[in-house]
Amino acid sequence: MKSASARRGDRRISPVFLGIAAVTAVTGWAVWTDFSEVPGIPVFLFVTGAWIVSLCLHEYAHARTALHSGDLSVGDKGYLTLNPLKYTHALLSIVLPVIFVIMGGIGLPGGAVYIERGRIHGRWKHSLISAAGPLTNALFAVVCTAPFWLDGLEGVPDTFRYALGFLALLQVTAAILNFLPVPGLDGYGVIEPWLSYKIRRQVEPFAPFGLLAVFAILWIPSVNHWFFDAVDALLRGLGVTEWDTYWGRRFYEFWKGTPEIPTVTLPR
């Protein structure tokens, strides 16, 4: 049996996570102060760092909910330390989501923590464990958009505003897409406990491909336009405009050069 100090160590915040959070804070400061001659580089590091932080919190939410639902093994696996290196599939958990952002500006978390479902009793608990991750992204989106809908961005540098708007877009897309009832995504995990055993067995072989299938479908122009129109409408309701998210992504893609933002003259 583990000692009390060892159990506390299983739940202590990892230096790896603290390092990622520190990089995010420092590069956020660099964006705010226009410290770099190439503003896209700190924007890229700030948004990517914040995105990885949100991925860690997403998986932590799954693990913490599982812990309180009866799966005490999540502590032994290191899931409560917020260390992304402890995840079952680092490729799916961190690498692929970052690639999705770079390639398509889409926030799509991958699979990660392994929950021992046999230790958990009650369909509602299983559903809540799956829902905890995307709900964390939704909360993160609220935090990112709060300065917009609270009119708290007066005097804030435009580049930081755009970076925050793009980060908000990633969180909104992550919450929406991960709630889709597609095998391999959390949305399916929410409804799976309520399906018959026969249906679950039929669907199970497709789970490893659900994440990639969603990303591939989003590359279809008509689907992509429809989806982002819906996301833009939701963000507008939260005070984030398409102007904010567009230029945020343009700055994020620093390898394309520093964008020149046109001067907009408002009608009198």
- pLDDT(216) > 90: no
Of the candidates 235, 233, 215, 236, which has an alpha carbon nearest to the alpha carbon of residue 224? 215
Q: What is the mean pLDDT of the chain?
A: 88
Q: What is the pLDDT of residues 89-106, one digit of tens each?
A: 666 667 778 888 888 788
| Cβ 229 vs Cβ 172: under 8 Å | no
For residues 179-198, give the mean pLDDT.
93
Percent of the chain exceeding pLDDT 70 equals: 91
Pairwise CA distance, residues 164 & 240, whole Å:
9
User: Quick one: tokens of 115?
Assistant: 């929950």
pLDDT at 225: 94
User: Within 150-219, where are the H helices?
Assistant: 158-178, 186-191, 197-203, 210-218
Q: Which of 110, 268, 127 is nearest to 192 (CA)?
A: 127
Task: Say if residue 36's pLDDT is above 90.
Answer: no
- The mean pLDDT value for 127-140 works out to 96
CA–CA separation, 108 vs 210, rounded Å? 12
Report whether 66 contacts 114 (CB < 8 A): no
**Each residue's pLDDT tens digit, 159-173:** 999 999 999 999 999
CA 82 to chain CA centroid, Å, is 14
Residue with the bigger pLDDT between 83 and 108: it is 83
Judge whether residue 5 has pLDDT over 50.
no
d(CA 182, CA 207): 8
116 is catalytic: no
Lowest mean pLDDT among 98-112, 125-139, 174-188: 98-112
pLDDT tens-digit readout, 114-130: 899 889 999 999 999 99
Q: What is the pLDDT of residues 45-103, one digit of tens each?
A: 999 999 999 989 999 999 999 999 999 999 999 999 999 888 766 666 677 788 888 88
User: Which is the catalytic residue, given 59, 154, 204, 242?
Assistant: 59
* C-alpha 74 chain-centroid distance: 21
In contact, 245 and 161? CB cutoff 8 Å: no
d(CA 246, CA 94): 24
